[in-house]
Structure 1
Amino acid sequence: MTGSDIPSSFRLAYVPGVTPTKWVRVWHERLPDTPLELVQATAADAPGLLADGGADAGLVRLPVDRDVLAAIPLYTETTVVVIPKDHVATAAEEVSLAELADEIVLHPLDDVLDWETLPGRPAVERPATTADAIELVAAGVGVLLVPQSLARLHHRKDLTYRPVPETPESRVALSWPQADEAPDLVEEFIGIVRGRTVNSTRGRAATPQRPTDKAKEKAKEKAKGKRAGTGGGQGGARHKPAAGRK
C-alpha cells in the first residue's frame, strides 16, 4: 500500500447496545496517527451503511447478507424481560416464557430478536422504537423482551430486568464489505477484537524501515567489517606463532 493509498481515518459503525469503548482505546494506543471515527447506526440500517461505503467496518447484529458483507461473530447476548421494579416477577432470578403468558408483551418496530411466535398477549399497537416501548413499560402498559445490552442502555430507576431462558438471542458481529482480502485497517481492528498482541504477524504490515535507520544499519555493518579485518594475516585470520625448537 502506497502512502497515497493509506486511509486518513478508520470509520467504525456500531448499533445501539454495543459498546466499542475498550477496542477503540486499544486502537488509539496502537495507531495514534490513524483517527478512528465512530458512526452510530440503527440495527436495521447498519448493513446498508456498510454496503454503501458509509463505514469501513461495523459492530452489527446478525444476521447479515453474507454475499454482501463478511462477518466475524463476537458474542451472543442474554435476552431479558424489562419490568417495573414492583412487578411480581422481580422475586425470581429469572423468568420463564410461561410466566409471561398473561402479560402484554410489547413488540417495537425496531425489535432485534427473531421471534417465530411472540410470547404473551400483543399490545393494541406496536411501539415505533425500543425507547418508546421502555416508556410504556414504565407506564405499566406491558413488558418488553430485549437483549441485555439494550435493557442497560435504556436504564431507568423505576425499571429492572430479569433473564428469560429459551428465547431468541441476539448475536453481535464485526462486519465489513466482502472482498478477497480485508483492508489493512480492517485487519488491524479484527486483531484488536480478537485480542492479538501488537507484535502479531497478522494484521498491519511491518512499518517500513526509514532511510536514516537503513543508513545506521549500513554503518554498523561497515564497522563490523573493519574490526574483522584488523587481525593481521590473509583474510584477517589470526595466526599463532610457531613454537621454536628447544
Structure 2
Amino acid sequence: MTEPRDTTAFRLGYVPGVTPGKWARIWAERRPRVTLELVSATTDEALELIRSGAVDAAVLRLPIDRTGLHTIPLYTETTVAVVPKGHVLAATEEAAVADLTDEIVLRPQDDALVWPGERPGRSAAFDPATTAAAIELVAAGVGLLVVPQSLARLHHRRDLVYRPLTDAPGSGVGLAWPDAENTELMEEFIGIVRGRTANSSRTPRRDATPAPDRPAPTRKKVARRPAARRGARRR
C-alpha cells in the first residue's frame, strides 16, 4: 500500500548551475505553511529521486528519458567556452565552434551538453570525472571547456573567462515529475515556474490564513430639518 505524501513539505531536486532561489521565495509567500526542501543532484540522480518518490519534482537538464514522467521545458541556456585569461578567445566578445578546431577541448564525464554531430576540438588524453575537475585543468593550461553558461558562472575563477559560442547547441532546462494525477502542491509549483500570479493559480489556498470577518459598515443617521410650513412668512 502506497503511503500518503507528506503535505507539510514539497521536495524539489535541482541540478548544479540551476538556481531555484526565485521560485523558493515565491513559494514561501504563497505556501508559508509548507516547506520547500531543495535537494541538489546530478540529472541521473534527480531522475532516480523522482521515480523512487524521494522528491516530488526536479529541475534538470534536457533531454532525459521521459518514461513515467511529465516534463515541461523551462528555458534554454547559452553555451560558452571557458578559457584562461591569456587565451586568444579571451580578447573576443563571442566565438564560433570552428574557432575550437585546433584546441584541446575537455569532455568531463558529467558533460551536460548534447551535440548533434561531432564535438568541437581535439580530445584530451583522458576525460576528467567532473566539470569541477575540468575547470581546474583549464586553469592549469591543459585545454578548454565547453559548458552551459550557468555552470561557467558556478565554477567562476579570476584566472578564467568564458565566451558565448554563437553556433553551439543550447542546454535545455526543464521540470520533471511523476506521470500521475497532480497533487495540489504540484499544481502550485507548476504555476510558479510558469510565471502564474497568485490570483491565476489553479489551486485553492487551503493553507492561507483566512481574513477576519469584518462587521458591515453602519450608516450614520442624519437628522432632517422639519419642512417649512407653506403659509409661513419670511422675516
TM-score, structure 1 as length reference: 0.80
2:206 paired with 1:207: yes
Percent of matched pairs sharing the same residue: 58
Decide which moves more: 150-159 or 116-125. Answer: 116-125
In structure 2, the partner of 1:135 is 136
The aligned runs of 1:149-160 (5 Å cut-off) are 149-160=150-161
2:37 paired with 1:37: yes
Distance 1:82 1:208 in 2: 46
**Residue 175 of structure 1: how far off its partner (Å):** 1.0
Q: Which structure 1 residue ranges, 5 or more long, are not aligned?
A: 221-246
In structure 2, the partner of 1:102 is 102
SS in 2 for 1:47: helix
Decide which moves more: 134-143 or 57-66. Answer: 57-66
**Residue 64 of structure 1: how far off its partner (Å):** 2.2
In structure 2, the partner of 1:119 is 120
**Residue 80 of structure 1: how far off its partner (Å):** 0.1
**Residue 14 of structure 1: how far off its partner (Å):** 0.3
- Counterpart code for 2:154: L
Matched-pair contact (CA < 8 Å) for 2:93–2:163: yes
Higher relative contact order (CA 8 A, sep 6+): 2
- Counterpart code for 1:122: S
Could you list the per-position Cα deviations for residues 175-201 of structure 1 after superposition, in whole angstroms to 9, with x for gaps in the alignment? 10111x321111101111111111225
Could you list the per-position Cα deviations for residues 122-165 of structure 1 after superposition, in whole angstroms to 9, with x for gaps in the alignment? 00000000000000000000000000000000000000000002
Distance 2:63 2:172 in 1: 8
Matched-pair contact (CA < 8 Å) for 2:59–2:176: yes
TM-score, structure 2 as length reference: 0.84
Cα RMSD between the aligned structures? 2.3
Matched-pair contact (CA < 8 Å) for 1:44–1:110: no
Distance 2:205 2:26 in 1: 18
The aligned runs of 1:53-202 (5 Å cut-off) are 53-115=53-115, 116-179=117-180, 181-202=181-202
Which structure shows the higher helix fraction? Answer: 1
Aligned length: 212
